[in-house]
Structure 1
Amino acid sequence: MPLLQTTNIRRSYGNLPVLKGINLSIESGEVVSIVGASGAGKTTLLQILGTLDRPDSGDLQINGQNVFALNDRQLAKFRNEQIGFVFQFNNLLPEFTALENVCLPGFISGKEEQEVRERAEALLVTLGLQERLNHLPSQMSGGEQQRTAVARALINKPAIVFADEPSGNLDSRNAEELHQLFFRLRQELGQTFIIVTHNEMLAALADRTVTIRDGLLFN
């Protein structure tokens, strides 16, 4: 069974159909990029795949769970435990250190504090941030902030990580380092990534690239 599978996902805003029947299957350990013109519906699709929004119709299965059969509270718990997010703007909380930012989803899930802190520190060390554990976001470079955001996405050992233009706010050197990081994490952790990107280099690196056009997906 695929890790993620959609069946005929549709979403409209008023009279404007944005997604017109999306069928997508993702295997565990895949790195898949989603590309398309601005306004094609990439972010709408990512929000639905990441359970941040519900479709008008259609099904989404993640890890064998029909996620939209869950109520909002159950869905929030599922999202926290099974899904990680990396956004273009890292969304780190400015008043918290790198370590504290990474710990937050673990604390929300109710895990034991020491266990969460140890995993957060180990992830930050793995991502080359051992000298930045107690730094605030304002004391880190853009690349360091985004790697911290990646560590935060991984803290609960999610089944899948969704990344929305993850390198869009980085210079070319930091963008390339971030791209390579995704593939290292896939190799070392078996992590699955779905990445929405305008970056042609990142899209070309992925195992598979799908294009969204006129509300449909094309391989």
Structure 2
Amino acid sequence: MRLVIAECSVDYVGRLSAHLPLAKRLILVKADGSVSVHADDRAYKPLNWMTPPCSLVEEPIVDLDGSDTGEKLWIVENPKSEQLRITLSNVIQDIEVELGQDPGLVKDGVEAHLQELLAEHISTLGEGYSLVRREYPTAIGPVDILARDAAGVTVAVEVKRRGGIDGVEQLTRYLELLNRDELLRPVQGVFAAQSIKPQARTLAEDRGIRCVTLDYDQLRGIESNELRLF
């Protein structure tokens, strides 16, 4: 990535015309070829930009007599012949940094983390619940959590961020398989998610599967911001 802080003016030439008068701005040139011009406000949104693929040509600006003015002209052009013409009058800083491959966004509260938190706080499912194992192996894949309730009955738990019909079907298949095991049966099912779609809840309850809505912040031990009397 190249970061240029400079006094510049910007002209967009294409289907429409737009002009930014001379001012100090940040210009970002990314590895994908995109170029964007930013002010010190508007959060992440640029004042003007050119998306890839596009080309960038830098030219010195000369006077009529051919002498160099010290200014530079950037011509950023896309395949449609639209141009972003950036005139740099005074470059304050010009930095290039190799960022490398980005690993992508890792969301907080994904299913694996929910599963881990629920296993740590298994009593969320009810008083007297105990953990048998996370990722309990079966011939058709691992059950997220295998637990026992206060009466010692085996409980298979499927954990989702957003509970849909597919999750209920998946848990149903696990229950059919687990209930063939004489050491485990009878095995009950719990469908646990941060949110459960009405159709999924109806299907689960029709099949005798209990639905539990998980409060992620509560599992993490974060108190609610809601005002309470006590």
Q: Does TM, normalized by the shorter one, top 0.5?
A: no
Compute the TM-score of the two structures, normalised by the length of structure 2: 0.18
Answer with 1 or 2: which has the greater Rg.
2
- Richer in strand (by share): 2
Report which structure shows greater RCO (CA 8 Å, sep ≥6). Answer: 1
- Richer in helix (by share): 1
